[in-house]
Chains A and B, each alone.
Chain A
């Protein structure tokens, strides 16, 4: 395909796509009359994705928008990855092998991405990586240990998310990261840290092409913030061809990718804000993948001949924060009562259409160390009333539940919960918070009850539990504080002995589940809705797709 014909073709496709979008907007009520143009779908090695939003920024040191996740995975690579296996539940899908492997280094089953080999101190005080030789960036610069060093220096210098990653991996100063020779880099820390390897599988610890970044940034912008925000300089499988925020981002497969050129030549990542429209585009064949659909929409796709739908267990969790710093949620009995009064089974059927699993623990059920079912909070009004009375609220109380206007499952859950709580005398006022300010409402920690959806990206019990339940954690939005839990989590962070850590994790979970800092709602799972002829999809704990996994046929 010459450049010229490709350009013409793109133009044509875009017009067809826009037409279908306009039609949709007007005819949402009559979905069946729409017939989608098939321009993109037949274009062999092009893949079109309908997503809620294009990336805000391409700098993963600052941006955590959904579109940014997808872009970072395409443009950058890190040092390591978890080995991939066939999903035990869904044979057509693959997933990471995040289980604990006593026989492997660090207890993890990993493969080298930018790293060719690695060594780990059994005590967990250092890790050394030998990089692949001859790996080129999308600007033609060869990967060296300097690039890794520069990447972590940038994290130290800019703070924000970088500060988080340095902290959890035990790095306290830039000198902790050392260039040993041209292709060898080591991480040396003062205290033992269990995440020394795992942190390098994280989507948000990619390696930058430091030479290009230095050139672009110059002395005015030494960390190339402006450049990285809108462009890329990495060693990933794709390069950025175009980005128009609010419309689309286009990624092009790199011929010189060290892992071989990806099967899909070009990925067009389209912004289609409403899930109803994304479903329609997939139904009509105008896109290959429709992301983030609602349960009812997913069900409606299941019988279509040209669409495949796969739902796999994921690291996502949805829960309601019960603010322990506010009355009456400072009393564990009140929080327990609220869990007993939550009609979890009904929510699973009515709201999630059976696509989710009940949240029966306080960390992802797919992670090593997950205990689960330590406390049975099945719907039990008698018990709920008893506990409320014991806490001195036998007559019930009034409170507010805040939910995100941008997440269509939260309102129905809130309404069902409101009806259920009336049974035990708790009057719930529902407060709809606009999607744009919802995250602030959560981080303010001033709501007595507020929904939250999150997934801890590092498949590690210490990492997950510390995020939400360590009294000093920024993400502990329910203001939960228990000295014993703090102590157990502290111990977990200070030892690299996986066996000991798993034992500590179980103890911590037992206390947390008993004290119920949340109303435990659901594991919503991850659903991939795609064209049938697309294969290779792999689920990652970062809950994003990686374009290089896909191929046609």
Chain B
């Protein structure tokens, strides 16, 4: 009985949360747009092989530089590859590089950040280590992100793995700082002291009590960061340090086509450019919605407003 009531309450809580979320989307159409864009891009990435009318890496030199129309919706490029198919295939590369790179940077950043935040005020080796990590992060962040990424790709060699690594490296300090600030304030909370007094080892305190409570800003950052990482991937490919031709990727598509703009052949680079812009925009919107929703104070204000308007609350 008790269990059934529990499950029911949870289900009610879940559906109420969903209702709240939907209400937020209704009152904030920009957030809805963001989710729609991201969802579409993700779906395209998954279903590209079935949606795309042409293979993305097959040249057809007989049909070169055809303007947008039928059967080539977005036209063809200088080698006769179908732009529409390539634009659809591109998120597979761009998104997977961006997501992998961002997750890796979040993993490195939050782990180090939690340790640094926890040990910063402890005398001895911990403090020294924390200081060392923070100063290293300062050094990393002193480089312009793009230049640093180019240097990393140059060192590791031109491959997908090195772009992922480059993205992970340049973003890790952001998560490191976010996590450290959070952990430093949580560390002084009574429940953390209680856990320590109860004899819990440090790693368990960090893993069980601190990290779960410090994750909110990190999650908000993730979405924004994925958008920026897509942009960084495209930028690296644009200058030739990214993916290899003719891999369908927005940045390299822009690079392959921009020489032709002057002669009036705008479509090889404008369409991938638009796709890139829309995607980054979508991820930014999602990021700002997460920021609002994960901040308890702002969520409460929002809920209060919604309650007075529609009688809905989480």
- A residues contacting B by CB (< 8 A) are 28-29, 31, 274-276, 279-280, 294, 296-297, 299-300, 343, 346-347, 349-351, 405, 408, 411-412, 414-416, 418-420, 422, 429-432, 434
B239 to chain A, nearest CB (A): 9
Given A414-B245, A415-B245, A430-B245, are A346 and B62 neighbors across the interface (CB < 8 Å)? yes
Q: Is the CB of B244 within 8 A of A349?
A: no
Interface segment out of the listed B32-40, B189-197, B262-270: B262-270
Among the interface residues B240, B245, B260, B266, which one has the most CB atoms of the partner chain A within 10 A? B245
Q: Is the CB of A432 within 8 A of B263?
A: no
**CB within 8 A of A412: which of B58, B62, B79, B244?**
B79
User: Which residues of the other chain, B, contact A418 by a CB distance below 8 angstroms?
Assistant: 57, 59, 246
Given contacts A419-B79, A432-B240, 10 further A-B contacts (CB under 8 A): A31-B262, A31-B264, A275-B259, A297-B262, A300-B264, A351-B79, A415-B79, A416-B59, A420-B59, A422-B58
- Measured in the bound complex, the distance between the Cα atoms of B264 and A31 in whole Å is 8
Q: Does B78 contact A (CB under 8 A)?
A: yes
A354 to chain B, nearest CB (A): 12
Q: Is the CB of B78 within 8 A of A300?
A: no
Given A346-B62, A349-B61, A416-B61, are A411 and B245 neighbors across the interface (CB < 8 Å)? yes
Q: Is the CB of B262 within 8 A of A279?
A: yes
Given A430-B246, A432-B244, A434-B240, are A415 and B260 neighbors across the interface (CB < 8 Å)? no
Majority secondary structure of chain A interface residues (helix, strand, loop or mixed):
helix
User: Which residues of the other chain, A, contact B151 by a CB distance below 8 angstroms?
Assistant: none
**CB within 8 A of A405: which of B79, B240, B246, B262?**
B240
- Measured in the bound complex, the distance between the Cα atoms of B260 and A408 in whole Å is 10
- Measured in the bound complex, the distance between the Cα atoms of B244 and A48 in whole Å is 38
Report B264-286 CB contacts with A as 1/0, cut-off 8 Å. Answer: 11100000000000000000000
- Measured in the bound complex, the distance between the Cα atoms of B247 and A431 in whole Å is 12
Majority secondary structure of chain B interface residues (helix, strand, loop or mixed):
loop
Q: Is the CB of A296 within 8 A of B59?
A: no
Q: Is the CB of B262 within 8 A of A280?
A: yes
Total A-B Cβ pairs within 8 A: 80
B72 to chain A, nearest CB (A): 15
User: Which residues of the other chain, A, contact B261 by a CB distance below 8 angstroms?
Assistant: 28-29, 31, 276
- Measured in the bound complex, the distance between the Cα atoms of B73 and A326 in whole Å is 43
A309 to chain B, nearest CB (A): 14
**CB within 8 A of B61: which of A275, A280, A346, A429?**
A346
Q: Does B81 contact A (CB under 8 A)?
A: yes
**CB within 8 A of B64: which of A28, A350, A408?**
A350
- Measured in the bound complex, the distance between the Cα atoms of B246 and A289 in whole Å is 34
Q: Is the CB of B259 within 8 A of A276?
A: yes
Q: Does B256 contact A (CB under 8 A)?
A: yes
**CB within 8 A of A347: which of B61, B259, B264?**
B61
Given A343-B61, A418-B246, A430-B244, are A350 and B263 neighbors across the interface (CB < 8 Å)? no
Enumerate 21 A-B pairs (CB-CB under 8 Å) in ascending A order. A31-B261, A31-B262, A274-B259, A275-B259, A279-B262, A294-B259, A300-B264, A346-B62, A350-B61, A351-B78, A405-B240, A408-B259, A414-B245, A415-B79, A416-B79, A416-B80, A418-B59, A422-B58, A429-B244, A430-B246, A431-B244
**CB within 8 A of A411: which of B256, B260, B262, B263?**
B256
User: Which residues of the other chain, B, contact A411 by a CB distance below 8 angstroms?
Assistant: 245, 256
Among the interface residues B78, B80, B261, B264, which one has the most CB atoms of the partner chain A within 10 A? B78
User: Which residues of the other chain, B, contact A429 by a CB distance below 8 angstroms?
Assistant: 244
User: Which residues of the other chain, A, contact B57 by a CB distance below 8 angstroms?
Assistant: 418-419
**CB within 8 A of A350: which of B79, B246, B260, B264?**
B79
User: Which residues of the other chain, A, contact B245 by a CB distance below 8 angstroms?
Assistant: 411, 414-415, 430, 432
Closest 8 CB pairs of A and B: A346-B61, A350-B61, A276-B262, A350-B64, A419-B59, A300-B263, A416-B59, A296-B263
